[in-house]
Copies of this chain bind each other. A is one copy, B any other.
Amino acid sequence: MSEPIRRCTVADVAREAKVSKAQAARALGGYGAVSEEVASRVQTAARRLGYRPNELARSMSTGRSRSLGVVVGDIENPHFGLATRGISDAARQAGYHVILANTDENPETERNAVRVLMDKRVDGLIVAPCRSNDNAHLQEVINAGRALVLFDRMVAGLEVEVISARFERAAERATQRLIAQGHHRIAYLTSLRLERPYERLTDLGSSPVAQRVAGMQRALAQAGQVLDPGLVRANATNREAIARICDELFSRPSPPTALMASDNLIALDLLRELKRRGLEIPRDISLVMYDDFPWTELVTPALTVIAQPVYAMGHEAANRLIRQLHGEASEPIPNFDAELIERGSIGPVTCATPRQGR
Interfacial residues, chain A to chain B (CB-CB below 8 A): 2-5, 7, 52-57, 59-60, 63, 65, 67, 74-78, 80-82, 84-85, 88-89, 92, 97-102, 109, 115-121, 143-145, 268, 271-272, 275, 293-295, 297-300, 311
Complex: how many Å from CA A292 to CA B75? Answer: 17
| Known contacts A7-B144, A75-B81, A121-B54; is-contact A88 B67 (Cβ 8 Å) | no
One complex includes copies of this chain to the number of 2
> Which residue of the partner chain B has the closest CB to A119?
B55
> Which residue of the partner chain B has the closest CB to A112?
B92
Interface pair B119/A52, CB less than 8 Å apart: yes
Interface pair A120/B76, CB less than 8 Å apart: no
A88 cross-chain contacts in B, Cβ below 8 A: 75, 100-102
Complex: how many Å from CA A170 to CA B55? Answer: 45
Interface pair A98/B97, CB less than 8 Å apart: no
Smallest CB separation, A276 vs chain B (Å): 12
Tell which of B52, B85, B101, B143 touches A76, judged by Cβ atoms closer than 8 Å: B85
Interface pair B76/A102, CB less than 8 Å apart: no
Smallest CB separation, A339 vs chain B (Å): 20
Smallest CB separation, A21 vs chain B (Å): 17
Complex: how many Å from CA A188 to CA B99? Answer: 36
Interface pair A55/B145, CB less than 8 Å apart: no
Interface pair B84/A97, CB less than 8 Å apart: no
A272 cross-chain contacts in B, Cβ below 8 A: 297-298
Interface pair A53/B84, CB less than 8 Å apart: no
A55 cross-chain contacts in B, Cβ below 8 A: 116, 119-121
A52 cross-chain contacts in B, Cβ below 8 A: 115, 118-119
| Known contacts A92-B102, A98-B99; is-contact A268 B298 (Cβ 8 Å) | yes
Complex: how many Å from CA A54 to CA B144? Answer: 13
When A and B form their complex, which 9 residue pairs have the shortest distance between CB atoms, in order from nearest?
A300-B300, A295-B295, A76-B85, A81-B81, A5-B145, A55-B119, A100-B100, A55-B120, A268-B294
Interface pair B4/A121, CB less than 8 Å apart: no
Interface pair A144/B5, CB less than 8 Å apart: yes
Complex: how many Å from CA A16 to CA B207? Answer: 43
Smallest CB separation, A327 vs chain B (Å): 10
A75 cross-chain contacts in B, Cβ below 8 A: 75, 81, 84-85, 88
A80 cross-chain contacts in B, Cβ below 8 A: 81
Interface pair B92/A97, CB less than 8 Å apart: no
Complex: how many Å from CA A29 to CA B334? Answer: 45
A4 cross-chain contacts in B, Cβ below 8 A: 63, 145
Smallest CB separation, A169 vs chain B (Å): 27
Interface pair B85/A97, CB less than 8 Å apart: no
